[in-house]
Structure 1
């Protein structure tokens, strides 16, 4: 990836093992170009490789938009072959974000349209400002959502509500997004709220949090018995870890735990 592409997404490290991934193409309202998708994939891979990271916040630069989705100006000049060539990289960008092992929080201010809405949906929690506007307008321009919304939105808010938004391509404000369950919190300062939430998550056992997310993700679409078996496997990986041993000691000694963390799991 060249330097110009890398500058489109910034990785900012905060205290308490929190990482902020910033979409940084404000002149285009953070539209997802081929280069931005590549930069986002690289940022997600960097975060995934760092076992010290405990929570991720996805934010954006600029005042008008979180992300307005696919860069249609770029695509206007595409041939069919160009579009086919772009597709794997775009899919990988959304999937890398969705597949992060640590909790992810989207801080949405302004427009979250199309692929921008899908980037938020790829996260575990969505914190929105009152100015946020969500939409999946793809059918209005002759395509369908391709960054996961046909699957993730249904799982998040249910079939009929997802059908309403996807089939009509209509825009909704933050209040309706919250009522539908698309947004989890609506606050005046979503970035600050998301960072505070990430810090609260990061204060807990890294092994426990990762395994809780793993159990929830792997168990959500399987029969209950299979899901409970997944939970048991994740429980065992946590219960016999150094984090569990430290958590019990810290509780008994009435002090904050000093978590060994994910890299030290299994060494109770």
Structure 2
């Protein structure tokens, strides 16, 4: 089973990427299951906690199936942005490539000090997706975003927190407690209507869909003309 789900408490659902033997690499089955599971959570849950099993949140695209995954990466981003409630990322270990891009659409992210981020696209010869061409510059500024994309360098959780990508960094034995505490507070102490409307306003401040479609065009046709002198 590449994906596990559990009810944490009333209106809170945990979604666990469950391919630990491959560092939760995102293959077609997992991508499809993620989009479907997030979509179907809308009616029953107000908060989703998304995590990875084992030593990574996700190592990014499964390179054995990358050419066939197509628009499925965009679909997992569309799913979390369309989820009416709040999506919390619980990150540990590797957060790489399309998986890192995906977290840019999460509402809140927390991580352990051992978490390592990397955008390897420029290294391996693919283009960025998941709306990250605008979401990353919006989050950390254009200059720093370009540096991370162009150099493909690794950076740790402390730097990610300083950049504003994380709401906090906690030791692994405290991370679960923190994430549950925030999730329960959102359910018990906040107006669900206000949360949903605030998320809607924030997510529609600009048209991510047009940007994602442009990314899809570049991703699909870019390699066919890669020898052209741009």
Give the alignment's TM-score, normalised by structure 1.
Answer: 0.72
77, 96, 104: which one aligns with 1:94: 77
Q: Give the aligned partner of residue 109 of structure 2.
A: 126
Q: Give the aligned partner of residue 216 of structure 2.
A: none
d(CA) in 2 for partners of 1:192, 1:121: 22
28, 35, 38: which one aligns with 2:32: 38
49, 60, 70: which one aligns with 2:61: 70
| Contact kept? 1:34, 1:90, Cα under 8 Å | no
Displacement, 1:178? 0.9
d(CA) in 1 for partners of 2:146, 2:82: 25
Greater RCO (Cα-Cα under 8 Å, separation 6 or more): 2
| Contact kept? 2:81, 2:203, Cα under 8 Å | no
Mapped pair 1:61 → 2:28: no
| Contact kept? 2:116, 2:157, Cα under 8 Å | yes
Displacement, 1:147? 2.5
Displacement, 1:139? 0.6
Q: How does 1:230-241 map to 2 (within 5 A)?
A: none
184, 193, 218: which one aligns with 1:199: 184
Q: Give the aligned partner of residue 171 of structure 2.
A: 188
d(CA) in 1 for partners of 2:146, 2:70: 24
| Contact kept? 1:59, 1:191, Cα under 8 Å | no
d(CA) in 2 for partners of 1:181, 1:106: 14
Q: Give the aligned partner of residue 144 of structure 1.
A: 127
Displacement, 1:217? 2.0
d(CA) in 2 for partners of 1:43, 1:198: 19
| Contact kept? 2:93, 2:116, Cα under 8 Å | yes
Q: Residues 103-141 of structure 1: CA distance to partner in whole angstroms, max 9, x if unpaired?
A: 111011000010121222120111010000011111100
d(CA) in 1 for partners of 2:103, 2:69: 21
Mapped pair 1:175 → 2:158: yes
Cα RMSD of the aligned pairs, angstroms, is: 1.6
Name which one, 1 or 2, has greater alpha-carbon Rg.
Answer: 1
Mapped pair 1:10 → 2:4: yes
d(CA) in 2 for partners of 1:191, 1:162: 29
Q: Residues 43-66 of structure 1: CA distance to partner in whole angstroms, max 9, x if unpaired?
A: 111112x2x41211111111x211
| Contact kept? 2:117, 2:156, Cα under 8 Å | yes
14, 18, 22: which one aligns with 1:20: 14
Moved beyond 3 Å, runs of 4+: none
| Contact kept? 2:27, 2:61, Cα under 8 Å | yes
| Contact kept? 1:108, 1:120, Cα under 8 Å | no
Unaligned residue ranges in structure 1 (runs of 5+): 1-6, 76-82, 223-268
Displacement, 1:86? 2.6
